[in-house]
Amino acid sequence: MAHRGVDTDFILPEFSMETRQFLFTASTLFIILIIIYANSFFSPFHYDDIENIVNNEKIHVSSLSWKELKKGIHGVNDGTATLKRPLAYISFAVNYHFSRLNVFGYHLTNFVIHYISCLALFLLFRNIFQFPTINPKYAPLAYPVALLATFLWATHPIHVTAVTVIVQRMASMAAMFYILSFYFYTKAKLSNKKYGIVLYFTGCFIFGLMAFATKENSAMLIVSILLFEVMCIKGGIGENFKKLVKRWPIPLVLFILLSLYYVWPVTFLSSYEDRPFTMLDRLFTEPRILLFYISLLFYPQTERFSLIHDVEISRSILTPWPTLPAIVLLIAAVCLSIRYHRKCPLISFGILFFLINHIIEGSFIGLELIYEHRNYLPSMFLYLPVAIFIFHAVHYFKHHALLKYMILGTITFFLCMQAHTTLMYNAIFLNEKSLWSQVVKKAPEYSIGLNNLGKVHWDDGENEEGYALFLKAEASNRWMNKEQKGVCLYNIGLYQLTIAKDYESARAYFERSFELFQASPNVWTNLAHAYLMCDQKNKSLSVLEKALEIWPRNGHILNALSVVNFKIGNITAAKRYAMRAKLNGVNSIQPDIVMGEILRREGKYIQAIERWERVLKLDPENMRALFALLELYHEMGDNDQKSDIIMKINCRTLSGPIEKNIDELNSHPQDKVYLINKRLIVDLLSTKNLTPRHHLPNNSNIF
């Protein structure tokens, strides 16, 4: 039989060297990142996640229609506000549509964003070495330098808060679009074909807009590209800068408009009203913070990282003493970068890129002083000159095998340790208690950490431990803003209201809290509750009516209004609010309790029984409902049903005599709609000679 040649139609095409390098980088990077971030995929919502995702009804969409998605484009503000990071909030809405509040989908999205950012950064680094102004001797090192610089950045633990804290997708997604825009700009500058230039510049423009629509600090993209153009493409600032300014009027005007959108003078001046520092204090403090960021980037120890850092505010140029040296060092870094930008363009650009992209969040605007996630974008170019230096050292010692392999072994060991630090840092975010315990350990006198750790203990049922931390946070009185102090005062008031039963103290704390923090309906309803318990019904009603104007469909407010109106004697209004609560789908027993008592007083016993039966259906172990039904069946003379209810009461274990348990349910009658007729209940139970056996918790609290 004759030999048949191989059918070349079935041979896979060979990949180019660049493609093989990219595939190796993509696969290796994915494996490493999935290892060091695998323990983050089930970390719960933390910190700002609660306000922006969990409690943000505007992103809780029922479909992916534009009508639903556009609800979230104003952030947590109302629909009349200006756009606020619309693409970030739309991405949260899409996550919510598919997985509701299951954190896995959110974390998976954040991981993919980080992975794409890493690949885009690698491609950008590789492109940079193709420009003729970059020293030609770097060309043979383009791939290994791009690979090492990308891995150093991608695995760094300083990015954990940008990737693992879900809401900080705003930082990572903006950086992803930013670096993609930058990449397409370099592709356009390297392209020799007209259609390629148009296509790449279009991509640059689109991704740039998407970056700004994700987070406002992306406005610095235009400045970064202009700086890259004059330093790394044209080869010098001087005349090139003047020429580019003349050729770039539209981009520069766009930059000014985008900047004013975010830092409108009235807006950023008013942002200091809520801060414990002035604008001058912030400008003095930020140079020290920038140097601290750099120390984290080049000395990444687990113990040095934290979601919250406690920073001493610089009240003058000399207090504390490192303020002036920090300012001098940064000015010197800028001057030297400009002075030697022709000789060392990548080092100069990396330093200036870092500083430029910290300007919006690290200068005039009255934001919090320090967050690690703010380094996600600015740190991208810092490792490029580091990687160049390492491979130059390897090349220099190429004839000294021992030294060469020592350098390679050291950098490999450093990368492994850095990745391990990221893995360990991620583990801190696995639950709220480990996170805030670490924050308190790192900053023991900082009030926000103490308050939030107290909240964790409170939610775990450890009320006394939580209360002690709330008091410590108040005494420390070191807050990022007044609202955080208001939250702490609210938490102390809640303890006084629900645990200590000291209603005057609760009222005082809630009033102090209300002056600082009004963003949550719970603040309003609990202040109203405290007023009611202090027998100030009209004040309670006034607070709730104002709250309803802000949250017209809030079930807690509607329930509270039905009770307060009932206590005042406005039965018609009590009915109306109870019915509104039901119509708004409030899954609560309170509307039925109010309606059940109103109907009982009106003599409509059958309808009243229907309401109390609903209460019992929603809360099968509610003792108050059983006592109310026993009274109603007694009033109707229905002995069969009465005996059935007595048997149900008999299946409950009481903590003591029946009289004592009824007294507990009737205690603090200011907020009780239905007060149990103790004498009648005792007589009815005694008639049957039954001894109740089970007791369930008092479920009578209305707010």
Each residue's pLDDT tens digit, 629-661 = 888 888 888 888 888 888 888 777 666 777 787
**Contact criterion met (CB below 8 Å) for 585 and 594:** no
Q: Tell me, what's the pLDDT at 657?
A: 78
**Contact criterion met (CB below 8 Å) for 157 and 421:** yes
Mean pLDDT of 573-587: 81
Mean pLDDT of 586-608: 85
SS3 assignment for 398-461 = CCCHHHHHHHHHHHHHHHHHHHHHHHHHHHHCCCHHHHHHHHHHHCCCCHHHHHHHHHHHHHCC
Residue 24 has pLDDT above 50, yes or no: yes
Q: Tell me, what's the pLDDT at 171?
A: 94
Residue 689 has pLDDT above 50, yes or no: no
Residue 670 has pLDDT above 80, yes or no: no
Q: Tell me, what's the pLDDT at 697?
A: 36
The token pair that represents 324 in the structure block: 């002036």
Please tell me whether residue 642 adopts helix, strand or coil conformation.
helix
Pure H helices in 517-638: 521-533, 537-550, 555-568, 571-583, 590-601, 605-618, 623-636
How would you class 458 by CB atoms within 10 Å of its CB: exposed for 0-12, middle for 13-18, buried for 19 or more? buried
d(CA 280, CA 363): 10
HSE (side-chain half, CA atoms, 13 Å) at 667: 10
> 2 falls in which pLDDT band (50, 70, 90)?
very low
Mean pLDDT of 173-178: 96
Element (H, E) at 514: helix 503-516
Distances (CA, A) of 157 to 60, 160, 427: 31, 5, 12
How would you class 397 by CB atoms within 10 Å of its CB: exposed for 0-12, middle for 13-18, buried for 19 or more? middle
Residue 595 has pLDDT above 50, yes or no: yes
Q: Say which residues have a Cβ less than 8 Å from residue 669's Cβ, sequence separation at least 6.
A: 675
Q: Say which residues have a Cβ less than 8 Å from residue 283's Cβ, sequence separation at least 6.
A: 363, 364
Q: Tell me, what's the pLDDT at 214?
A: 92
pLDDT digits (tens, 9 = 90+) for 206-254: 999 999 989 988 888 988 998 898 888 876 666 555 666 666 566 666 6
Quickly tell me which residue has 């203990």 as its tokens: 457
Quickly tell me which residue has 């709609």 as its tokens: 673
Q: Tell me, what's the pLDDT at 403?
A: 82
Please tell me whether residue 316 adopts helix, strand or coil conformation.
strand
Q: Tell me, what's the pLDDT at 700?
A: 37
Residue at 419: amino acid letter: A
**Contact criterion met (CB below 8 Å) for 605 and 636:** yes
Maximum separation of any 2 CA atoms in the chain, in Å: 110
Q: Report the b/e string of 535-544 with b at 16+ CB within 10 A.
A: ebbebbbebb
Beta bridge pairs of residue 319: 316
The token pair that represents 503 in the structure block: 């209603």
Q: Tell me, what's the pLDDT at 269?
A: 60
pLDDT digits (tens, 9 = 90+) for 331-363: 999 999 888 888 888 899 999 999 999 998 888
Residue at 318: amino acid letter: L
Residue 323 has pLDDT above 60, yes or no: yes
The token pair that represents 113 in the structure block: 């964003």
pLDDT digits (tens, 9 = 90+) for 383-412: 998 998 888 887 777 777 788 788 888 888
Give me Rg for the CA atoms of the chain: 32
How would you class 271 by CB atoms within 10 Å of its CB: exposed for 0-12, middle for 13-18, buried for 19 or more? middle
Residues of the chain with pLDDT > 90: what percent?
48
Residues of the chain with pLDDT > 70: what percent?
88
d(CA 597, CA 603): 10
Q: Tell me, what's the pLDDT at 330?
A: 94
Q: Which among 580, 613, 574 has a CA at the least distance from the CA of 595?
A: 574
Q: Which among 499, 507, 504 has a CA at the least distance from the CA of 462?
A: 499
Q: Say which residues have a Cβ less than 8 Å from residue 187's Cβ, sequence separation at least 6.
A: 127, 196, 200, 203
Beta bridge pairs of residue 422: none
Q: What is the pTM of this model?
A: 0.85
Q: What proportions of the chain, in percent to the nearest 5, are helix, strand and coil? A: 70, 0, 25
pLDDT digits (tens, 9 = 90+) for 131-170: 887 767 677 788 999 999 999 999 999 999 999 999 999 9
> 11 falls in which pLDDT band (50, 70, 90)?
low
pLDDT digits (tens, 9 = 90+) for 411-459: 889 999 999 999 999 999 999 999 999 999 999 999 999 999 999 999 9
d(CA 120, CA 182): 9
Q: Say which residues have a Cβ less than 8 Å from residue 582's Cβ, sequence separation at least 6.
A: 591
Q: Tell me, what's the pLDDT at 238?
A: 61
Q: Tell me, what's the pLDDT at 317?
A: 92
pLDDT digits (tens, 9 = 90+) for 463-512: 999 999 999 999 999 988 889 999 999 999 999 999 999 999 999 999 99
Torsion angle, alpha carbons of 12, 18, 23, 24, to 10: 120
DSSP 6: P
Residue 255 has pLDDT above 50, yes or no: yes
Mean pLDDT of the residues in the chain: 85
d(CA 316, CA 295): 23
Distances (CA, A) of 527 to 293, 492, 541: 42, 12, 11
**Contact criterion met (CB below 8 Å) for 470 and 454:** yes
